[in-house]
């Protein structure tokens, strides 16, 4: 990983010297592409078993950074063209060109990675494509031509820039590292591998890409082809900073053309720097005027802020009140029928009737309490409820069903969040089934399956026929409330409510 670290450090120095955004983006893209080459080499030869599917896919993945590098080379060269004073602001198609190249690179990358499907890039008789048992297909030729074309176009643009710039006599300098890298690459390709010394390879092709990339662009910067941050001394001298830089002995090294001495409203300042200190004057007269204006404006703003704060408080209280009203109205609407039934059951009952009606009243009361709690919880969780919350509410109702002699069980597969609308539909259906078969209910099994979809299954068994439930249900009713299926015969009944797809989130 030494080479990627060297490349990253060099790229950071380029960012310090070059401020053109387009060129910096291209440098960053090239750096990432070369670093990915080294990472792929590491994964392929050090961490991956030989002649496996993973090794073949890593070989295909080599062509992603190899295809991206010419794109960023062309974009870097094009940035020189865009920075030309004669063209600055006139290259309206620049962004479209960049996106077109990236889209083309993405399409070629997909073609490389899916070679096992179409065999347009490599046609190998099994094994790893680089083992010598393969032939190149039209996709490989297309990708190679596309890369060569981009590199040549980039060179053409850079040579045109050299022809216009005063550094055209040094235009041969950037070509030296490129020619060296190409020469070494030809040796690598001709021999099938890099030359060895004492049994060790002298280089790999990744290092050649690194050498060519860094050497070419560093040469362009050094000969002045790329405008870089230099000549700070002259810039400081010609500036109007009213400052000077002195060494450790107090001798002036740099002094700006304008520098005020101490006087009315002026303050002399200094700060240490490497090798000396910088001295400057601050014009407090302007700051005093600004402070006075700011103080006056602040007093006016403070009064307005008090009014705005009071208005915001009122709006917050209003929103909170409206939210509470909405929730209470929704809860009251949902539990109105159960409350009315409880009132009828508990209106002047005898002792025997009270004991008979008590389990049903407890079930209705559990629904009234839990429906309200779940509504408030859904509001706090932004329209999401966990399956475990619904199961907890159902278990309370099942406790009261057991008082009436019914056996109950509940199972949840993959407890996760789901939309509150679906959760309420599950709970409401559970309550409807409970109320419908309560007098004759013998056993109930409820199962939630949230692995690939949202589905609740209820198996009911009664002491008598449950035909009334079947008559009041509509099998396979699709729509906003999901798909409801009701089947059964005699004293058994099977009910399923499902919502296709995942509506919630794993946690």
pLDDT at position 445 is: 92
What DSSP letter does each residue of 184-247 carry, written as one string? Answer: HHHHHHHHSS--EETTEES--HHHHHHHHHHHHHHHHHHTTSS--S--HHHHHHHS---EEEEE
* 32 falls within a domain: yes
Length of the chain: 507
* 339 falls within a domain: no
- Among candidates 232, 228, 181, which has minimal Cα distance to 205? 181
Q: Is 80 exceeded by the pLDDT of residue 156? A: yes
* Residue 254 near residue 237 (C-beta atoms within 8 A): yes
* 289 falls within a domain: no
* 302 falls within a domain: no
3-state helix, strand, coil in the chain (%, to 5): 60, 15, 25
Instruction: Give the residue from 229, 260, 280 where a domain finishes.
Output: 229
Please tell me whether residue 466 adopts helix, strand or coil conformation. Answer: coil
Number of separate domains in the chain = 2
* 312 falls within a domain: no
* 290 falls within a domain: no
pLDDT at position 14 is: 86
Distances (CA, A) of 1 to 11, 13, 35, 159: 16, 19, 9, 34
Q: What is the pLDDT of residues 45-71, one digit of tens each?
A: 767 676 677 777 887 888 888 888 899
Instruction: Give the residue from 229, 252, 273 where a domain finishes.
Output: 229
Cα–Cα dist 405/54, whole Å: 60
Give the burial string for 433-444 (b: 16+ CB within 10 Å, else e): bbbbbbebbbbb
- What CATH number is attached to the domain comprising 451? 3.30.565.10
Instruction: Give the residue from 189, 204, 229 where a domain finishes.
Output: 229
* 404 falls within a domain: yes
* Residue 367 near residue 416 (C-beta atoms within 8 A): no
Q: Which residue did the predictor score with more confidence, 323 or 484?
A: 484
pLDDT at position 464 is: 66
pLDDT, mean of residues 310-318: 84
Given the structure tokens 């099977």, which residue do they identify? 494
Burial class (CB in 10 A: 0-12, 13-18, 19+), 46: exposed
Q: Is 60 exceeded by the pLDDT of residue 479? A: no
pLDDT at position 478 is: 41
pLDDT at position 440 is: 78
258 falls in which pLDDT band (50, 70, 90)? Answer: low
Cα–Cα dist 68/76, whole Å: 12
Sign of CA dihedral 96, 99, 104, 105: positive
Q: Is 50 exceeded by the pLDDT of residue 35? A: yes
CA 7 to chain centre: 26
**Domain limits for position 465:** 384-499
Given the structure tokens 């176009």, which residue do they identify? 153
Backbone angles phi, psi at 202, to 5 degrees: -75, -30
Q: What is the pLDDT of residues 176-233, one digit of tens each?
A: 888 888 888 888 777 777 777 777 777 787 888 888 888 888 888 888 777 777 666 6
User: pTM of the full predicted structure?
Assistant: 0.47
* 458 falls within a domain: yes
């Amino acid at each position: 990983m030494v080479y990627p670290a060297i490349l990253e450090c060099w790229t950071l120095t380029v960012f310090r010297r070059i401020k053109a955004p387009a060129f910096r983006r291209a440098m960053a893209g090239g750096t990432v592409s070369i670093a990915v080459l080294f990472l792929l080499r590491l994964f392929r030869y050090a961490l991956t078993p030989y002649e496996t599917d993973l090794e073949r896919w890593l070989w295909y993945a080599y062509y992603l950074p190899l295809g991206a590098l010419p794109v960023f080379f062309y974009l870097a060269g094009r940035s020189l063209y865009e920075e030309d004073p004669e063209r600055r602001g006139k290259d309206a198609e620049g962004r479209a060109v960049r996106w077109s190249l990236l889209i083309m690179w993405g399409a070629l990358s997909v073609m490389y990675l899916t070679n096992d499907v179409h065999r347009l890039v490599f046609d190998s008789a099994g094994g790893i494509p680089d083992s010598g048992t393969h032939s190149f297909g039209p996709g490989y030729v297309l990708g190679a031509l596309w890369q060569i074309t981009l590199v040549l176009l980039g060179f053409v643009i850079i040579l045109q820039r050299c022809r216009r710039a005063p550094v055209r006599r040094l235009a041969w300098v950037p070509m030296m590292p490129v020619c060296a890298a190409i020469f070494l690459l030809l040796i690598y390709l001709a021999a099938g591998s890099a030359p060895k010394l004492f049994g060790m390879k002298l280089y790999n092709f990744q290092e050649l890409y690194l050498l060519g990339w860094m050497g070419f662009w560093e040469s362009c910067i050094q000969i002045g082809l790329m405008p870089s941050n230099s000549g700070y001394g002259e810039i400081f001298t010609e500036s109007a900073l009213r400052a000077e830089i002195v060494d450790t002995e107090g001798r002036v090294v740099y002094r700006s053309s304008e520098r005020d001495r101490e006087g009315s409203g002026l303050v002399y300042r200094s700060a240490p720097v490497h090798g000396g200190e910088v001295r400057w004057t601050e014009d407090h007269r302007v700051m005093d005027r600004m402070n006075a204006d700011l103080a006056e404006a602040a007093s006016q703003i403070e009064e307005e802020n008090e009014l705005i704060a009071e208005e915001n408080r009122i709006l917050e209280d209003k929103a909170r009140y409206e939210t509470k009203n909405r929730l209470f109205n929704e809860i009251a609407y949902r539990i109105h029928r159960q409350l009315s039934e409880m009132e009828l059951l508990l209106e002047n009952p005898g002792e025997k009737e009270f004991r008979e009606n008590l389990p049903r009243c407890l079930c209705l009361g559990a629904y009234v309490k839990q429906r309200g709690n779940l509504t408030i919880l859904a509001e706090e969780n932004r329209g999401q409820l966990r399956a475990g919350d619904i199961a907890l509410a159902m278990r309370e109702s099942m406790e009261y069903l057991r008082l009436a002699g019914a056996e109950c069980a509940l199972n949840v597969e993959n407890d996760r969040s789901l939309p509150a609308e679906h959760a309420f539909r599950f709970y409401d259906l559970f309550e409807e089934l409970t109320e419908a078969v309560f007098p004759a209910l013998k056993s109930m099994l409820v199962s939630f399956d949230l692995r690939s979809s949202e589905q609740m299954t209820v198996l009911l068994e009664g002491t008598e026929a449950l035909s009334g439930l079947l008559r009041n249900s509509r099998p396979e009713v699709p729509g906003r409330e999901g798909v409801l299926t009701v089947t059964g015969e005699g004293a058994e009944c099977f009910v399923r409510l499902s919502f296709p797809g995942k509506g919630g989130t794993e946690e």
